[in-house]
Amino acid sequence: MAAGIPQSSDERVVFIKGLFQDTLPGFLTSNSFHQGRRKVIHLDADLFSSTLFTLCSLAPHLQKGDILLFDEFNVPNHEFLAYKTFCDSYYIKTKLIGAVNNYLQVAVMVE
């Protein structure tokens, strides 16, 4: 958290510094998500609690065709467990569309 926020000239990119629980709710209420447009969401929360909070917060905004990317998916008690808990709790079905490094990084599509 001591690092500075990177600069980007791409208007589609926004960096927000802070804890997910402090920053994600405000981000979600201040941004509109266009229905019909596919979202690509890169989850780099690493920990179970942060990943689960983020997925649960995003649940109302997810639709068929959206893609979720995980960077440390094969850590059983963190991102993977949060993903499994989320899918089981919200009845979300996904399809694996890519994986590398023995499932360390994974991409799934919402069905």
Domain ranges of the chain: 38-110
Report the top-level CATH class of 38-110: alpha beta
Strand 67-70 to 40-43 pairing:
parallel
Could you count the other beta carbons within 10 Å of the beta carbon of residue 1? 5
Burial class (CB in 10 A: 0-12, 13-18, 19+), 14: exposed
How much is the pTM? Answer: 0.89
Q: What is the pLDDT along the chain (111 residues), one digit of tens a residue?
A: 678 899 999 988 888 889 999 999 999 998 877 777 899 999 999 999 999 999 999 999 999 999 999 999 999 999 999 999 999 999 999 999 999 999 999 999 999
